[in-house]
Structure 1
Amino acid sequence: MTETFDPADVACWIARGRPSHHAHAIADAWRAFPDLPIGTPLDVRMARTRERTAMLKSLHEQIAQEGEQHRQATNFAFVERKVAEGSTDSRDAGILRARAVHGYDWDEAVAWAAGNYAARAGWEARPPSRTRLGEPDLRRGAYNQGFLDGGGRPDDIFDVARRSLTAFTPEPTKVASPPSSRPLPSQWPSPGDLPAPASWHRRLLILGASEYRAGTIGILTMLHERSGHEETTICLIDVERGLYLLSDANGIASGDDDALREYLRQRDYTDIVAIASEAEFARLDSAAPVLPLTRTMERTRNSLLQQRAQFRLWIARGRSPGEQFAAGHIRWSKMAAGLSGRLGDFTVRYAGPARLRGHRIIVEDADGMPASGYRTAHGRALHPELVIGNKSHLRAAMAGLLRQYAAALRLG
């Protein structure tokens, strides 16, 4: 682009995106009627501008005509592509027929196709609204012509009834059935505390190979802190190798999808969680038929901190042998006195620092009294007050105690 703007220079207009014939016409007008010096009287300068505008009038009309031609060519090309791709809308073929038979432009062809479709469908004639006063009303004429070509007879009072009885109803388009009705792993919801607990031997962890090698989120470290995690089945998903078991003790080679599918099916899982990168999830989606259909299927997402928090919720639902606790969503609230959570008829709240050291947690029943006299399903007595040393573990300790009470029995 030139540094200085000279309206009488053809190259200046071409550099600013004007076609060559437009640039020559504009430059000719500026050379014929250049701007007058600033000291020239205003009425003289305005007269010069009007002269230049009058010279460019034909160019402006040509530009408008070229724009209209481009619009119609683009629209017709779009409809031609739809028909070539197998469009089932008869109005698309009608637009092309109106252009070929009647020589209509785009607006007239669309009106003809609409009128023809209305006649064959058994509808009343509803031509488009009138154009501006003084302009030729071509669309209404094209609509009426299409209505007549489709079998419509506006002068017959029984025309609509006759055509509605003989109207052809096309069969619905047959759509191929999807390969699977269940969502892909990349579409699974995030882990939460609402699903029911599951024993560790009925849980499946699908871990991305990148996380297994780098440990950025710390999934395995968090998992190893829970008792009973040894029973969990762990599969790795790699962009190149696909889905395979972490342990080689089962003798299933990497890439043997049939053997892996049969192995996972025999384990009777109820809970699956997937932690992987987006590229690994794309690879896991292609291996989705290998995975069993379970009650709960989840995946972590968003930032690393959020994925850690989501995985903690999944870990908390793991049940070791002999362990019993309730499921359900805990409704947390931050009152002036401190953190509190509610599950069922029980409320757990932070009761402040302990007398010597630590932090007190108290569970109350529906009456607001300490929940005394409750025992687990195995007969172990529960104490409504708990003291913990590390306040950063407050929410986890409160949730664990509250779930034990929600699954407990009251004796006496």
Structure 2
Amino acid sequence: MSDAFDPSDPAAWRSRGRTPEHAAAIAAAWQTFPDLPADAPLSDRMARGRERIAAMRSVNDAIAAESATRREVSNFAFTEDQVRRGRGNDRDIAILRGRESYALSWDLANRYADGWYAAHVGWPHRYPDGIPSVTPLADRHAAYDQGFSDGGGDRTDLFDAARRSLVADMRRDNLPRDPQIILAGRPAPSSYPKPSDHHRPARWSRRLLILGADVIAAEPAWDFLAITLARPGAEAATIVVLTADGFVSPDAIGGQTTDAIMIDHQAAAAQLSALLQNREYDDVLIALQGHDLDLIDTVAHILPLARTLERTRNSRLQQRTHLRTWLDRGFTGTTVAAQGHIRWGKAITALYGSLGEFTARHVGPAPGKGHLVRVETKNGLATGFATTDGTPLDPEIVVTSKAKLRGEIAATLRAFGGATRLMAAADRRAA
């Protein structure tokens, strides 16, 4: 024994969480049967240890029984709380019923609930003997049988399981019903998907773009407003900019455009409503992020319900890519462009895109300078196609820069997709 811990002192055991009664009994056993000196025979020291263990057996049994009682009280209290809050199921209710009706312990109440639930849901009678328990097996079987009988089971009926399974789905448990999803009349802009080329092109006059002032930069490559207005026909679109003073048209942008938004929701809704003027739109793009996106979510009821609702997201580079994808779907109405998703690929170092029956492929340097792109079908070079006004389409185009390859290939594929061989044949006959 060390000076730091004296097992014959009740205070030492009380400091380790034992009750005063248990601490006194354990200390008394150590006082009655202390350790023998280290030079005592081994058999005597082992006999002394067995005597001390025998003297403390009643104390250890009392400690185990008290711990089991506390555990049962805690388990029953937790189950009662779950049922009271509406979070318990039918099995939890059966556990409490077994305790209240038959004064069962926690283990036996669980076996009662197992039997009751098996009968309740139409399962066959089967003892769960694999669950560890110190309770005698006969008592556990009796509790299970009682629960099975109380749940409506009848082991003497040959068709008992079939009968119970038929009516099981008519019962309801104690769990609350699943919440019903109520779809909002207008989706929030934050839930809009990112732009894609799957959707049908729309006239510029029926397109709406809402930009944040933070994406209108001095550098042209990152100025979303300049990128938009550079597209032919984009001036016919409705463009709204969210500045520190609220929603304004591009012509009304002041010098300071990147300050924090100071306007309240009601004023913002009034400004946006005045700018939209109840016009009808087919294509809407929201290019707002962060707090700006939160603001427009609060005034989503002002936004029109259009055929296509999208928004930019993620990094500034991806936002610019999303904007360009959206801009590619705009047209003035004087040209015909095919819709649909362009499938892109790369064979070794050659970029290619496919739309319908057409495949536009970068084949290498063009004679002179630039890059040569060929449009092909499964029969070879796509010759004999013309636009709606009879202008023949050249299946070989020259792109001045590799940076423009993707855009030129996309425009060429949509031009060929909007033309047919019949148009070219009619043009030749007319000539």
TM-score normalised by length of structure 1? 0.71
SS across alignment from 2:17: helix
> Which position in structure 2 is the counterpart of 1:378?
389
Cα deviation for residue 405 of structure 1 reads 0.9
Give 2:95's aligned amino acid: I
> Which position in structure 2 is the counterpart of 1:222?
227
| Closer, same or farther: CA 346–270 of 1 in aligned 2, 3 Å | same
- Correspondence for 2:249 among 244, 247, 250: 247
Unmatched runs of 5 consecutive residues or more in structure 2: 7-14, 28-33, 252-263, 426-431
Cα deviation for residue 177 of structure 1 reads 4.8
CA deviation profile, 1:122-167 (whole Å, cap 9, x unmatched): 5543332344698623544333222223343334446556666777
> Where do 1:104-253 residues align within 5 Å?
104-121=104-121, 123-131=123-131, 136-137=136-137, 139-157=140-158, 159-160=160-161, 169-170=170-171, 173=177, 175-180=179-184, 184-208=188-212, 210-211=214-215, 218-235=223-240, 245-247=247-249
Do 2:121 and 2:168's aligned partners in 1 also have CA atoms closer than 8 Å?
Answer: yes
Cα deviation for residue 348 of structure 1 reads 1.0
> Which position in structure 2 is the counterpart of 1:21?
17
> Which position in structure 2 is the counterpart of 1:84?
84
> Which position in structure 1 is the counterpart of 2:428?
none
- Correspondence for 1:396 among 395, 398, 407: 407
Give 2:303's aligned amino acid: L
> Which position in structure 2 is the counterpart of 1:13?
none
SS across alignment from 1:308: helix
Cα deviation for residue 75 of structure 1 reads 5.0
Give 2:314's aligned amino acid: N
Unmatched runs of 5 consecutive residues or more in structure 1: 1-5, 11-18
Cα deviation for residue 396 of structure 1 reads 0.9
> Which position in structure 2 is the counterpart of 1:3?
none
The size of the alignment, in residue pairs, is 381
> Which position in structure 1 is the counterpart of 2:312?
300
CA distance in 2, matches of 1:385, 1:101: 89
SS across alignment from 2:380: coil
> Where do 1:92-107 residues align within 5 Å?
92-107=92-107
CA distance in 1, matches of 2:321, 2:67: 57
| Closer, same or farther: CA 104–333 of 1 in aligned 2, 3 Å | same
> Which position in structure 1 is the counterpart of 2:330?
318
Whether 1:344 aligns to 2:349 is no
Do 2:107 and 2:135's aligned partners in 1 also have CA atoms closer than 8 Å?
Answer: no
CA distance in 2, matches of 1:100, 1:211: 68
| Closer, same or farther: CA 120–80 of 1 in aligned 2, 3 Å | same
Cα deviation for residue 66 of structure 1 reads 8.5
Give 2:409's aligned amino acid: M
Give 2:92's aligned amino acid: D
CA distance in 2, matches of 1:364, 1:293: 39
Cα deviation for residue 407 of structure 1 reads 0.8
Identity of counterpart residues, as a percentage?
A: 38
| Closer, same or farther: CA 135–306 of 1 in aligned 2, 3 Å | same
CA deviation profile, 1:146-194 (whole Å, cap 9, x unmatched): 2223343334446556666777824694744514277643333322111
TM-score normalised by length of structure 2? 0.68
Do 1:237 and 1:283's aligned partners in 2 also have CA atoms closer than 8 Å?
Answer: no
